Structure 1
Amino acid sequence: MTKDPNFNFHPRCEKLGITHFMFVDDLLLFARADLDSVKLLFMAFQKFSMASGLCANLDKSDAYFGGISDQERCELQQVLGMANGNLLFRYLGVPLSSKKLTISDCRPLIERVTGRIDTWATKHLSYAGILQLVKSVLFGIQDFWAQIFVLPKKIIREMESRFRCFLWSGKSNPTKKALVAWRFMCLPKTCGGWNINSLEDWNKVAVTKVLWDLASKSDNLWVKWVHIYYFAGKNLWTAPIPKKASWILKKILASRDIVNNIVDGQMLLYSKVIKASMLYALGFTRSVLSFTDELQWIIKYCRKTNVRSKLIVMCFSEADYNIWM
């Protein structure tokens, strides 16, 4: 099909030669919105169905169009025999859209958290039991969304309000004033808190993890797609944010400031000071190298079996663990 001169790739799929995605029992097909390309794509899908015996239910399938007139859309719908789908739609429980996530889009998340709390409200739970449910179950519900989207601050505050009410009253609605401010509850136990993760901080960490994947996992298809269509060989850490990028991609790239503040700020300075003191104590007079060079240097000592080499490896391992963990 792709070798047929009449077939045209989707404008955002041509450079990687993408025609379809498959996930479990779901299939997404991509092509330019012209009659010849759509017919060829649909014929290839029908051949696959005949060969494998796997047939799609067209009544449960939708076609999504963009950048064409209503007349062209109607012609293509007749060829496909599918209903016209509209963004935004939900997939795997989360909304899919290239636009900014609104409060109403996140309302199902609040309703799910509230519904789970309401099922527990009739049970006589201890304070320790409620705390464990907040830290595990309720946090896990929002964690699925937090690792995909930059959640609106109003939604995060509303979820924390639900968590706080459940913790102090056992219900989703406030019945009495909280005895301790929520920000103190999020502190470590050694600082007087209950070690509850801050939802806003966790959302930032999760989005920064996606940024790290963009920078390091070059074998992933979506990472290749982002680099080819938005960066074209430029350095992801220094390139300006593309104006045509989706809202979520802009937010992910904006989190570069968080990483840069950690790498170029006080944490790196603190790491160099500690390592310089350790090198001096071990009898080395050289300066601190980059992380990659330091790693290669310590690997050489890992291969040696004498006592001094084992001491050097142990010191560097403990230093890195305590600095970064």
Structure 2
Amino acid sequence: MEARELMSGKIHPLPLYLPFVKIVVGVGAKPAVSPFKHMGLNITVGSIQLCTILPGIFCNWRCSSISVEDDLFISTHDSATSLSAIDEVLKAFYAHSGLKVNYSKSEIFCCGLSDSAIASLSGVYGFKVGILPVKYLGFPLVTGKLSEKELRPLMAKITDKMSSWTAKHPSFAGRVQLISSVIQGITNFWSSIFIHPKKVIREVEQKCNAFLWNNTTDTARGAKVKWESLCFPKQEGGLGIKGLELWNISCIMRYIWMIFSQAGSIWVAWVHEYLLKNCSFWTV
């Protein structure tokens, strides 16, 4: 398990200048001392020390605590000098906490720069050049609905799984089990986060239907029962396979339940403060 740390504090808005560089940093998690033993560390004093030893680095006096984070995004100017200053800050943080940056797992995202400039900046510390949109836990971080293009990795993973099974010629019962457990296990991970486009849902179900009846991913010609009927419970004459569209809706509705039941969640508090704004969920 990797530990990543983020100094938290109130951030004042600054004007955005282009071109810019954004770095996703993984702060390597093999601390010499447990991170929890550093909770008493006076970060304000550390911030003042950083300001004195690093010209051009300005620290917020409200930064008084350490919180555990999975990833850290750092925005900077498009120059080697800026990257060097960030490197010095992270080294100073390592000296205080024992947490070291893992540059091999860090990525750099650039906007408005030529390929040669990007290669030059990424080569300074060995950053990998990231491709937008940024991904977290395999999911693209987008502000709107997912498009068919962004779900292509999911489709490719399902197709690869089915293609490997096709060569083994599983029985009909075996194919039912593979669809119910493996394929739906893959889609469950995505269904719990995003609402899928209907075109993608139909494509996934067509592949599952073709694999079930013909042991292929190309066509379901010759299928004896409609796919919708197969999704009925076994007690009602179906095979108990979950319909992807209804299951996707059910997973997303879980967030409504969370709004009412998990009062201690930071996400729920944010929804109430910025989206509901002290209004009833049913009247928004």
TM range (shorter): 0.5 to 0.7
- The counterpart of 2:186, out of the listed 129, 141, 154, is 141
Deviation of 1:41 (Å): 8.9
Q: In angstroms, what is the RMSD of aligned CA positions? A: 3.7
Contact in 1 for aligned 2:180/2:241 (Cα 8 Å) = yes
**Aligned pair in 2 of structure 1 residues 2, 117: CA closer, same or farther (>3 Å)?**
closer
Cα-to-partner distance string for 1:200-237 (whole Å, 9 max, x where unaligned):
00000000002221332121222222222223322233
Aligned positions, number: 217
CA distance in 2, matches of 1:113, 1:188: 23
Normalising by the residue count of structure 1, what TM-score does the alignment of the two structures yield?
A: 0.56
Q: 2:195 matched to which residue of 1?
A: 150
- Check conservation: 1:186, 1:194, Cα contact below 8 A: yes
Select 2:12's aligned residue among 5, 8, 12: 8
Larger Rg belongs to? 1
Distance between the aligned counterparts of 1:229 and 1:114, measured in 2? 40
Would you say the 8 A contact 2:206–2:220 is kept in 1?
no
- Indicate conservation of the 8 Å contact 1:117/1:171, yes or no: yes
Question: Unaligned 5+ residue runs, structure 1?
Answer: 11-16, 240-325
Alignment TM-score, normalising by the size of structure 2: 0.63
Give yes or no for contact 1:19–1:31 (8 Å, CA) kept in 2: no
Partner of residue 162, structure 1: 207
Q: Which residue of 2 aligns with 1:89?
A: 134
The answer to which structure has the higher helix fraction is 1
1:28 maps onto 2:28 in alignment = no
Kindly provide the amino acid, as one letter, of the partner of residue 149 in structure 1. F
* Superposed counterparts of 1:188-207, under 5 Å: 188-207=233-252
Counterpart CA distance in 1 for 2:152 and 2:251 is 20
Distance 1:194 1:226 in 2: 39
Output aligned runs, 1:1-325, within 5 Å. Answer: 8=12, 22-23=69-70, 27-29=71-73, 45-58=90-103, 60-62=105-107, 87-174=132-219, 176-239=221-284
Query: 2:20 maps to what in 1?
Result: none
Distance 1:211 1:39, change over 3 A: farther
More strand by share: 2
- Are the equivalent residues in 2 in contact too, given 1:187–1:193 (CA < 8 A)? yes
Cα distance change, pair 161–49 in 1 and its aligned pair in 2 (3 A): same
Deviations 1:59-97 (A, max 9, x none): 64346799xx99xxx9xx99x987886641222222221
The one-letter code sitting in structure 1 at the alignment partner of 2:246 is D
3-state SS, counterpart of residue 135 of structure 1 = helix
Aligned to 1:293: none
Higher relative contact order (Cα pairs below 8 Å, separated by 6+ residues): 2
Assess if the C-alpha contact under 8 Å between 2:147 and 2:197 holds in 1.
yes
